[in-house]
Amino acid sequence: MTKGRWAIATILLVLIADQIIKIWIKTTLPLGGEIPVLGNWFALHFVENNGMAFGLEFEGTTGKLILTLFRIIAVGAIGYYLYKQIKNNAGIGLIISLSLVVAGAFGNIIDSVFYGMIFTDSTYNQVAVMFHESGGYAPILFGKVVDMFHFRLLEGVYPSWMPFVGGEDFLFFRPVFNMADSAITSGVVLLILFQKKFFYSKKN
């Protein structure tokens, strides 16, 4: 299989899996709903956010619009870079890593751009409906990103002697994320870990 096909296959696999999970979660659970998977260690916990990976966000309508447009520009730039690397016959590791980043970024762009138009609003008492006759909950570019993976690997209480957080609950890992976030993180980690192999050997 050519490197271009490897890139396409990686992107499509991540996108399809990401969207299937998101659509199923949004049309099955109310906001805040949860399905235990591995006891208290891992659960599917439905939350939405207006912004970046792991629930980070910019405040306000303007911030949301800027973030969505930035995402579109960024994924276009990374996608073009991926295309150039394929043309330059870069290593398969670099191609797969870049493809994971492109797929993850594009997966969250789909939520931001289209979900507001095709779903009714999710509330703590109501499950969203897809393609309802009344329309969606937001105009194009203002949809919310669906997150669901919640790992509670370690829970406890900070010791009382610790400044600022003493006596407060401790939870690792607190952020809720999705498959697109995982793809981006995996791609970036691979690029960092193997940067010498991906870039230095290529330059030589």
Cis status of the peptide bond prior to 173, with omega within 30 of 0: yes
Q: Which region, left, alpha or beta, applies to residue 145 given φ > 0 means left and ψ of -120 to 50 means alpha? A: beta
- Radius of gyration from C-alpha coordinates of the chain: 19
Lowest-confidence pick of 81-95, 119-133, 150-164: 150-164
Distance of CA 3 to the CA centre of its chain: 24
pLDDT at 201: 55
Phi, psi for 150 (deg, rounded to 5): -130, 110
Can you tell me the mean pLDDT for 40-55? 80
The strand pairing partners of 146, in sequence order, are 48
pTM (two decimals):
0.87
- DSSP, residue by residue, 141-156: T-PPEEEEEEE--EEE
What is the C-alpha separation between 14 and 191, in angstroms, rounded? 18
- Token pair 């096909």 is found at 5
Tens digit of pLDDT for each residue in 194-203?
988 887 654 5
List the catalytic residues. 147, 181
Tens digit of pLDDT for each residue in 122-158?
999 999 999 999 999 999 999 999 999 999 877 777 7
pLDDT at 110: 96
User: Mean pLDDT across the chain, nearest whole number?
Assistant: 89
